[in-house]
Amino acid sequence: MVSYGVHLFLWAERFDRTTLHLIEKAKRLGFDGVEIPLMELDLIDIDATKRELRRHDMYAIGSLGLSIDNDVTSDDENVRRRGIKFMKRCVDVMAQLNGDSINGIVYTAWGKLTGRARTEDEWKRSVEALREVCRYARDYNVTFGLEPLNRFETHFLNTAEDAVKLVRDINEPNVKVHLDTFHMNIEEKNFYDPIKLSGRLLFHMHCCENDRGIPGTGHINWDDIFRALSEINYDRWLVIESFTQEMGKIVRYAAIWRKLAPNADAIAIEGVRFLKNMADRYGLR
């Protein structure tokens, strides 16, 4: 049975004590868990977050986009080591929050564009770094989900085929594939085949409309998505990820220059209702 999550970037650019109330809000709007950004670990009050999650019977999902200072594909070994150390800290935090996954851009720096295709050296560095981090994370039952992004946000991993290859090269049991329909809409030929290709390796899904507006209001082929998810017996998270114009740095990365919905709550409320209806239609609930 699938679960429904919402990325807290929908309402706030950072997660700290001032945004703990969003856990209760997400529960009230119909979600089972929240995707928590891990980029600023020192802001997270672990004890207070645990209490809030427990109080509202909610689950924590880790979300990470590595910064250029933590780029595990960097030519600089010190930068790579810093990235590995940082991801291990992320594992520690998620374990304390009883979360079992960290998903996102964990294989290179988010937004890093080199003006060329990835190199064999970059690939090798990413494999080596993630292998070390995954081995560390195994003791904490934390799995990493590798999210392919569109070509305007990374040169490194753009398709499900890329992600499956990287997972297989890392060759650890706790590294899987994380797909996002917004990026798939740009980089894939269709939505059905990448999900089927990922198969048992698919561990996490971001369910976003083509413009990052309300799921179900654009041209994403949701029938193909849910048909494929049903056929591979997908039983993990369906997460709404979007951003509003107030999100500052995140908006610059995601290029959100116009209003996508009446407000953030509309994306959450109408979006989760749509996803639940689709899941019912295809027998995922």
pLDDT number for residue 59: 98
pLDDT number for residue 247: 57
Q: How far apart are CA 260 and CA 242, in angstroms?
A: 9
pLDDT number for residue 13: 87
Strands (E), the chain: 3-7, 33-37, 59-65, 101-105, 143-146, 175-180, 202-206, 237-240
**Ranges of the chain with pLDDT below 50:** none
Domain boundaries, the chain: 3-281
Helix ranges (H only) for 36-159 are 46-55, 77-96, 120-138
pLDDT number for residue 262: 72
Look up tokens 């930068």; give the residue. 79
- End-to-end C-alpha distance for the chain, whole angstroms: 5
Look up tokens 């600089």; give the residue. 76
State the catalytic residues: 147, 241
CATH superfamily for 3-281 is Divalent-metal-dependent TIM barrel enzymes (3.20.20.150)
pTM of the model: 0.95
Q: What digits encode the pLDDT tens for the residues 137-167?
A: 999 999 999 999 999 999 999 999 999 999 9
